[in-house]
Amino acid sequence: MTATDKPEARPGALRRVWNFALELLDVLLRPSSIFGLGILVLAGFVAGVIFWGGFNTALELTNSEKFCTSCHEMRDNVFAELKTTIHFSNRSGVRASCPDCHVPHNWTDKIARKMQASKEVWGHLFGYIDNRDKFTDKRLELALHEWARFKANDSLECRNCHSAQSMDITKQSPRAAVAHERYLFTGEKTCIDCHKGIAHHLPDMRGVPGWQ
């Protein structure tokens, strides 16, 4: 056997993968000669239910306070700060946990947000904010992202619970009633314009509109 014969004896790895793909496609396109059509449809349906259900279950698992606080970046910084606020404990016992404000409830928007959040996994793995100093240095940037999101969707996540339609301003303090009547009901401002820093500490507010 000479050196020139070698390539003919065994094709390259890429070629073999390509050949396998062609064979697989051939099998997938050929009608089944073993399983009945009904069995195939039923199996497809069952597999679909399992995959879809599994997907949504996994999605919901990543949408819980427990999952969010499993990273120390969240647990020691933003979650620790949330604990002192009214969204964590209050007279009526309703708690807004992380995804209630930070993940859109609408499915398409939720998937889009989850894809964005893959950057956060990257940041966790490479320790972008793995101590308090790094976190506070980056707090303004992170806060600006969230404020921009709330501003763009007209504070949708706030309004999932606090709707202007069901807000009884006669039950509010005079100050709140006046402000909501003048700016919220007229649509001149949205929730996040005034209610910044209600669930987490504020970043350096110099240069933020409405702040000194």
Partner 1 sequence: MTRTTVRNTAIIFLVAAIAAGTGTLAAQTLNSGLRGATPLNDEGPASPMPQTRNTAERETRNYPEQPPVIPHSIDGYQIDINGNKCLSCHARARTAESQAPMVSITHFMDRDGQFLASVSPRRFFCTECHVPQNVVTPPVSNDFVDIDTLLSRASPGGRR
Position 1: which residue type? M
- For residues 172 and 179, the answer to whether their CB atoms sit within 8 Å is no
User: Could you say which of 31, 36, 38, 174 contacts partner 1 (CB under 8 A)?
Assistant: 174
**Interaction of residue 204 with partner 1, rule CB under 8 A:** yes
**Interaction of residue 94 with partner 1, rule CB under 8 A:** no
What Å distances lie between residue 185 and 108, 176, 179, CA to CA?
A: 28, 12, 9
**Interaction of residue 92 with partner 1, rule CB under 8 A:** no
| Cα three-residue angle 46-47-52, rounded to 5 degrees | 100
User: Residues in the chain, how many?
Assistant: 212
Considering the complex, state which of residue 156 and residue 177 has its C-beta at the smaller distance from partner 1.
177
Q: How many residues make contact with partner 1 (CB under 8 A)?
A: 19
User: In angstroms, what is the minimal distance from the CB of 184 to partner 1?
Assistant: 13
**Interaction of residue 175 with partner 1, rule CB under 8 A:** yes
Listed residue (163, 153, 68, 50) closest to 106, CA to CA: 153
Considering the complex, state which of residue 89 and residue 116 has its C-beta at the smaller distance from partner 1.
89
DSSP string, 151-167: HHTTSHHHHTT--STT-
Q: For residue 114, give the H/E element and its range.
A: helix 107-116
**Interaction of residue 185 with partner 1, rule CB under 8 A:** no
Compose the 36-75 pattern: x for residues touching partner 1 by CB under 8 A, - for all others: ----------------------------------------
Applying CB under 8 A, the residues found at the interface with partner 1 are 85-86, 173-175, 178-179, 194, 197-198, 201-205, 208, 210-212
